[in-house]
């Protein structure tokens, strides 16, 4: 994979529903999923848009979170990467962990970080 720079990262969509009065001060079981998609970016040479979807829900509590983050990535050469390549990249992982940390504040708790989720997949 060629080197790239994260030119811009932002939240495209965020939906949060949480009614956790009954679950305060306890671990709440969550279903967590990540997926990513790569699309072309014609606005900047050798760049792509990398969209990340982070979804959470709980079967025991009325909690759900749906976040779509967008990364504009510019490469030294013509981009030739996969979603897996990008998810394994340390810079992307750090950015995702920062976003998740901010999202955790909205739920008054700690969400599993992207790094933890990737580690558990191994």
Q: What Å distances lie between residue 108 and 23, 24, 89, 101, 103, CA to CA?
A: 11, 9, 29, 11, 9
Query: Does 3.40.630.30 match the CATH number of domain 4-121?
Result: no
Predicted model pTM: 0.84
Residue-wise pLDDT tens digits, 42-95 = 899 999 999 999 998 887 777 788 999 999 999 999 999 999 999 999 999 999
Calculate the CA 73 to chain-centre distance. 15
Domain limits, the chain: 4-121
């Amino acid at each position: 994979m060629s080197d790239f720079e994260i030119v811009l990262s932002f939240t495209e969509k965020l939906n949060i529903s949480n009614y956790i009065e009954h679950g305060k001060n306890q671990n709440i079981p969550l279903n967590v999923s990540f997926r990513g998609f790569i699309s072309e970016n014609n606005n900047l040479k050798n760049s792509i848009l990398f969209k990340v979807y982070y979804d959470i829900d709980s079967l025991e509590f009325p909690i759900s979170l749906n976040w779509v983050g967008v990364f504009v990535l510019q490469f030294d050469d013509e981009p030739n990467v996969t979603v897996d390549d990008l998810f394994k990249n340390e810079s992307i992982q750090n950015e995702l962990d920062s976003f998740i940390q901010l999202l955790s504040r909205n739920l008054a708790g700690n969400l599993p970080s992207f790094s933890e989720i990737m580690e558990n997949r191994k």
